[in-house]
Amino acid sequence: MTGREKEAHSLVHQLQQRIRRVTAVTERLQRPKVFFQVGLDSLITVGRNTFLNELITLAGGTNISGEETIRYPRYSIERVITAAPDIVIVTSMKGEGSFEQVKKNWSRWSSLPAVRNGRIYLMETDLVFRPSPRIVDGLEELTRLIHPEVRDRLGSRP
């Protein structure tokens, strides 16, 4: 459409290489359980037929709601506690100021491995909710959160 076919092919090739690097780095690692919270006000997460579920899997994690047929199911805290996620990742359009309150709310559930181990993270919404070439940046960032031990092997964020 834009007459830049050569540049487009080059970009696609570079993005595919980055995705392959992520999967190669994580394929033999343990797959921690991840709860991905969408928004700050309720426990809405991501189900099976979402690209976020696919990103969690590619990044070397196991989405605790990955078998849900509802794309964005609402979870109760009891259900999250039962699933015992190793990592909680929160994303919201509201910005970081509100995140401190969310972290404080999660800290009440000290039985959760994610809380005990300080693995509650905020992730930039633009990296994971806009299916564009930037989604690969989101995949790499998600991988760094799930597997901080591979951070150096992924390189720095562009």
Digit-coded pLDDT (tens) for 108-143:
999 999 999 999 998 888 888 877 888 999 999 999
Domains present along the chain, CATH in parentheses: 5-149 (3.40.50.1980)
* pLDDT tens-digit readout, 48-98: 999 899 999 999 999 999 999 999 999 999 999 999 999 999 987 665 556
8 A C-beta contact, residue 86 and residue 115:
no
8 A C-beta contact, residue 143 and residue 25:
yes
Hey, how many other C-beta atoms are within 10 angstroms of the C-beta on 58? 18
Contacts for 63-66 with beta carbons within 8 Å, 24 or more apart? Answer: 63/34, 63/36, 64/33, 64/34, 64/35, 65/35, 65/36
Joined together, the tokens standing for residue 138 give 């989101």
pLDDT > 90? residue 155: no
Indicate yes or no: pTM above 0.75.
yes
